[in-house]
Amino acid sequence: MIPFTVIGGFLGAGKTTLLNRLLGEAVDRRFAVLVNDFGALDIDSRLVTAHGGDTLALANGCLCCTIGDSLVTTLLDLLERADRFDHIVVEASGVADPGRIADLAALEPRLQRDGVIVLVDAAEVRERAADRRLTDTIERQIRSADLLILNKVDLVTDPGGDSGADLAALRDWLYRQSQAPLFEACRAAVPMGLLFGLDRLGITADAPPSADFASWSYTWREPVPRQALTDLLHDAQRGVLRAKGIVRFDDSPDRRSIVHLVGRRIEIRDGGPWGDSPRGDTPDSRLVLLGLKPVLGCLKRQ
Amino acid sequence: MTTTVYSARRILTMNPSQPFASHVAVRDGRILGTGSLDQLKGWGKFDLDDRFRDKVILPGFVEGHSHAFEGGVWKYPYVGYFDRISPEGKRFKGLKNIDEVVAALAVHEKTLPKGTSLLAWGFDPIYFGGRRMDRGDLDKVSTERPVVVIHSNFHVANANSPVLAKANITRDTNVHGIVKDAAGEPTGELQEMAAKFMAYRAAGVELSAVLSDKEAIWRFARVAQLAGVTTATDLHNDLPESTVDGYLQATQSADFPIRILPAFAAGSVAPAEGVPRLQGLMKKNNERLRFQLVKIVTDGSIQGLSARMRWPGYYDGTPNGVWNIGPDDIDRILLAYHKAGFQVHIHTNGDEASEVAIEAVERALAAAPRWDHRHTLQHAQMADAGQFRRMKALGMCANLFANHLFYWGDIHYAKTLGPERAERMDACGTALATGVPFAIHCDAPVTPIGPLFTAWCAVNRLTASGRTLGEAEKISVADALRAITLGAAYTLKLDEELGSIDVGKRADFAILDDDPLQVAPDKLKDVGVWGTVLGGRIFEAPRA
Ligand SMILES: [Zn+2]
Ligand SMILES: [Zn+2]
């Protein structure tokens, strides 16, 4: 299965900057990037060539009154040459609901939904959301997010380093609308390992290059109580950014369960019976978490 | 240099200084003159052609908003509720219940090779008393072959069990647009993105190739010509090279029966790239092909509940619709094409979308004043009197979706808009009173192409159930006929070349069996179309 990430957010929130960072830093993986920006900004084509992936521009609907034909046909076309890349990223248009686009992964068995990342422009979002013609569009985007990136915080932070009342009010406003973990960033500088880190080939636990983030690996010999684990992940919702693992749950000890978490969204699916892999693996549960340091510290104590 | 004079029962010219005539003289594909035979004799030697002596001649109809996709979908069987004429002139009888649809599909299924999918279009369950199609119905067509039936609105589809199985769609699939029954099982009805994805997936690459299919453009031209159309738009096209080549090839043939205007999809590339591209394409224009239009799609559709509405929104409380291209991008894209001197057609269904588009035009004009831009709101279905006044003040045109009144008027009255706003939708009467130049359209393949039917809608404003929707917005037959000829030509900046039967204009005619000004207004849609004349060349329509 190919991980499928959707990047959303209103015009000017930094989606293209984020994509350029991703392509600039991606060395070991090939991303296919689908862009739908109505020809506003272009992503840096040198980066696309350098990382060996593909970028496909999307037009809006072919037929009047329809939305998404181009996305759908481009995606299907892409899946025909799925061997040429490791991860698909869609940049949603500034007015699209990225959650609807991510739904495509549920309709296509070859895709693994890998999260909806929504960027928010710290300096502009409140004012734009106050425009009655945009309110619902922006709120839908925020509600669809598995991970929120509050971008351009430098523009609402005063030079003395005090994050100020504006930023606090902004956080509250976002928390009221969404359970998703919230990153704060300038120029979309977030560790790419956190956003796109765990690849489809297995579990990697490279520590993200930041003092604020950490990764943690767990291994259990005994079957894991399903409720306890999901409770744990839910409790840590604002701090655990990603989790991936193969778990032997107490209620289905004979089968692997694949646990996949991006932000607030937890997905558990069946991974077949234990012991049928060529490696003949032992039925140990393994889980890797990536998240904010303090939160992970708490989890460990439990 | 031969001159042919055609006699007719009557010629309706749309030229106010000589509205009626008995003869028209044609030379070199253009109109030499109209009048009586005596008045035309002074032009010298001519051949008198009497074949239309019992017919009534009008300017060739101009369809200001259609899509060549109409020619694409005819590759697949039509299973709609209403009769529809195919490009070959064959009348497909409307299917009046789900069993009839299933039976028709089952017959078609037998003709398909093994290993292919069955795709059908035009299905419309709104007159089936609430009964929806489900996968059980379509499993009767086949339990092995994927079957997908696309609804007439192109936003919903039905699939059979093999399609759902192939995509792993089960009761556990939680995706917007997958309809489930009371027991939580997927019914096979798919909406919006889910519908599109499954339709394309089932049909493979075939469906996406349909638009650039060389035959599709011919099918579109034929189906338009059968309805008396001599000029039609393909009002939203990315214009990839393959499509442009197909257009050039088709329109270079003297047998190609219409003039076609593709509108460049402005959202497909950056304006900095799109402007020179369109300017380059215009150099390839020929007598039957005109690149000159630009299209911006702002919101969705009312019947799809995706139109952008002003307060108080949808009558049934459905949340507001979605932007396809949002307000900021509309401004940016419009300004770029406006500055480059293009005429821009802006799709706006809901009144909030119309508001945003009107304000964008206002800002573009303030930034770059321009006379006679004729930027046109396409659909403008919910525009109210105030918005028409603003359009008038800004020099804008409107192309109103009159067919909508018949096909979805009942739903709008009961559910989406409520009585008051449904009665004033597609406000031709207000457009006329305000002085906004306007056309009326079909948006084929959303509804069938047929300007006389469209005119009938604007005149009678009857819904499918027979309700009159807005007495005050009715217009006269004469005004409606102008809207499908000179009025539409004006919204395409072709009114000096087409749209009326006048000296020097192109010899494009619709040849009718009856006089639309003589028949009862409620019979306007039943006036037969004998065929057309395009640049002096005669195209007789096969009889349906
Ligand atoms: Zn249209
Ligand atoms: Zn439209």
Residue range A120-148, pLDDT digits in tens? 999 999 999 999 999 999 999 999 999 89
Q: Assess whether A9 and A94 both reside in one domain.
A: yes
B525 Cα to chain A: minimum distance (Å): 25
CA B317, B320, B321 angle in degrees (round to 5)?
A: 130
Q: Assess whether A119 and A189 both reside in one domain.
A: yes
Rounded CA gap, B258 and B441, in Å?
A: 17
B356: helix, strand or coil: helix
Confidence grade of residue A56 (pLDDT, cut at 50, 70, 90) = low
Task: Average the pLDDT over A35-48 and give the result.
Answer: 54
What count of CB pairs under 8 Å joins A to B?
Answer: 148
Rounded CA gap, A302 and B443, in Å?
A: 63
Is B175 touching A (CB cutoff 8 A)? yes
Per-residue pLDDT for A215 more than 90? no
CATH of region B70-208 = 3.10.310.70
Scored b (16 or more CB within 10 A) or e, A98-127 reads: bbbbbbbbbbbeebbbbbbbbbbbbebbbe
B306: helix, strand or coil: coil
Do residues B13 and B6 make contact, with C-beta atoms less than 8 angstroms apart? no
Percentage, residues of chain A above pLDDT 70: 73
Per-residue pLDDT for B152 more than 70? yes
B175 Cα to chain A: minimum distance (Å): 6
Chain B CB contacts of A67 under 8 Å are 192-193, 300, 306, 322, 324
Is A104 touching B (CB cutoff 8 A)? yes
Q: How far is CA B471 from the centre of its chain?
A: 24
Rounded CA gap, B13 and B264, in Å?
A: 31
Using the beta-carbon criterion (under 8 Å), do B265 and A134 form an inter-chain contact? no
Is B268 touching A (CB cutoff 8 A)? yes
φ and ψ of B41, to 5 deg? -60, -30
Chain B CB contacts of A103 under 8 Å are 175-177, 193-194
Q: Which two tokens stand for residue A53?
A: 């992936």
Select from A73, A100, A103 the Cβ nearest to the Cβ of B208: A73
**CA–centroid distance, residue B66 to ligand 1 (Å):** 6
Q: What is the pLDDT of residue A181?
A: 84
Beta bridge partners of B27: B3, B30
For the segment B460-492, what is each residue's pLDDT rounded down to a tens digit? 999 999 999 999 999 999 999 999 999 999 999
Of B60 and A103, more confident: B60
Using the beta-carbon criterion (under 8 Å), do A67 and B300 form an inter-chain contact? yes
Task: Average the pLDDT over B171-183 and give the result.
Answer: 89
Task: Average the pLDDT over A7-23 and give the result.
Answer: 88
Domain-located, residue A105: yes
Per the structure, the count of domains in chain A is 2
Percentage, residues of chain B above pLDDT 90: 82
CATH number assigned to the domain comprising residue A82:
3.40.50.300
Choose the mutation target among B322, B346, B378, B441 for the interface with A, i.e. most A CBs under 10 Å.
B322
**CA–centroid distance, residue A27 to ligand 1 (Å):** 44
Per-residue pLDDT for A47 more than 70? no
Rounded CA gap, B450 and B444, in Å?
A: 9
Chain B CB contacts of A39 under 8 Å are 267-274, 333
Q: Which two tokens stand for residue B432?
A: 């006329």
Rounded CA gap, A116 and B381, in Å?
A: 35
DSSP state letters, B227-291:
TTEEEEEEEEE---HHHHHHHHHHHTSTT--SEEEEEEETTSS-HHHHHHHHHHHHTT-BTTB--
Do residues B220 and B232 make contact, with C-beta atoms less than 8 angstroms apart? yes
Per-residue pLDDT for B378 more than 60? yes
Q: Assess whether A176 and A250 both reside in one domain.
A: no
Query: Residues whose CB is under 5 A from ligand 1 (ion)?
Result: A 64; B 443
Beta bridge partners of A240: A291
For the segment A69-116, what is each residue's pLDDT rounded down to a tens digit? 678 877 888 888 888 888 888 888 889 899 999 988 888 889 988 889
Confidence grade of residue A27 (pLDDT, cut at 50, 70, 90) = low
**CA–centroid distance, residue B284 to ligand 1 (Å):** 24
Confidence grade of residue A279 (pLDDT, cut at 50, 70, 90) = low
Using the beta-carbon criterion (under 8 Å), do A100 and B274 form an inter-chain contact? no
Choose the mutation target among A4, A34, A37, A38 for the interface with B, i.e. most B CBs under 10 Å.
A38
Least confident of B116-130, B216-230, B487-501, B511-525: B116-130
Q: Which ligand is nearest to the CA of B346?
A: 2
Using the beta-carbon criterion (under 8 Å), do A42 and B328 form an inter-chain contact? no
Confidence grade of residue B140 (pLDDT, cut at 50, 70, 90) = very high
Instruction: Please state the pTM of the whole predicted model.
Output: 0.90
Within 13 Å and on the Cβ side, how many CA atoms surround B355?
13
Selection from A173-187, A235-249, B31-45 with the highest mean pLDDT:
B31-45
- B3-54 domain in CATH 2.30.40.10? yes
Of A202 and B379, more confident: B379
Residue with tokens 């039943």: B526
Query: Residues whose CB is under 5 A from ligand 2 (ion)?
Result: A 64-65; B 347
Residues 6+ apart with CB under 8 A from A188: A14, A17, A18, A21, A119, A149, A151
Rounded CA gap, B402 and A209, in Å?
A: 61
Beta bridge partners of B3: B27
Beta bridge partners of B506: B30
Q: How many CB atoms are located within 10 Å of the residue A221 CB? A: 10
Q: What is the pLDDT of residue B467?
A: 97
A40 Cα to chain B: minimum distance (Å): 6
Residues 6+ apart with CB under 8 A from A177: A139, A142, A143
CA A218, A222, A227 angle in degrees (round to 5)?
A: 75
Residues 6+ apart with CB under 8 A from B234: B66, B67, B68, B220, B260, B261, B262, B263
Is B335 touching A (CB cutoff 8 A)? no
Rounded CA gap, B98 and B231, in Å?
A: 36
Q: What is the pLDDT of residue A212?
A: 65
Chain A CB contacts of B332 under 8 Å are 40
End-to-end CA, chain A: 33
End-to-end CA, chain B: 36
Is B273 touching A (CB cutoff 8 A)? yes
Do residues A178 and A98 make contact, with C-beta atoms less than 8 angstroms apart? no
Chain B CB contacts of A68 under 8 Å are 192-193, 196
Domain-located, residue A140: yes
Do residues B76 and B119 make contact, with C-beta atoms less than 8 angstroms apart? yes
Per-residue pLDDT for B403 more than 90? yes
Percentage, residues of chain B above pLDDT 70: 98
R_g of chain A computed on alpha carbons? 20
Domain-located, residue A207: no
Using the beta-carbon criterion (under 8 Å), do B193 and A103 form an inter-chain contact? yes
φ and ψ of A157, to 5 deg? -105, 130
Mean pLDDT estimate for chain A: 77
B512 Cα to chain A: minimum distance (Å): 31
Within 13 Å and on the Cβ side, how many CA atoms surround A76?
20
Chain B CB contacts of A134 under 8 Å are 326-327
Structural domain range at position A76: 2-196
A170: helix, strand or coil: helix
Q: Assess whether A49 and A117 both reside in one domain.
A: yes
Q: Which ligand is nearest to the CA of B296?
A: 2
For the segment B202-212, what is each residue's pLDDT rounded down to a tens digit? 766 566 566 55
Domain-located, residue A297: yes
For the segment B188-197, what is each residue's pLDDT rounded down to a tens digit? 998 887 877 8
Is B301 touching A (CB cutoff 8 A)? yes
Domain-located, residue A201: no
Rounded CA gap, A56 and A35, in Å?
A: 6
Q: Which fold has domain B209-534?
A: TIM Barrel (3.20.20)
Q: Which ligand is nearest to the CA of B70?
A: 1
Phi/psi region, residue B29 (left: phi>0; alpha: psi -120 to 50; beta: rest), is left
Is B267 touching A (CB cutoff 8 A)? yes
Domain locations in chain B as residue ranges: 3-54, 70-208, 209-534
Using the beta-carbon criterion (under 8 Å), do B200 and A11 form an inter-chain contact? no
Alpha-carbon distances, residue B128 vs B80, B141, B464 (angstroms): 12, 19, 13
Rounded CA gap, A179 and A262, in Å?
A: 12
ipTM: 0.88
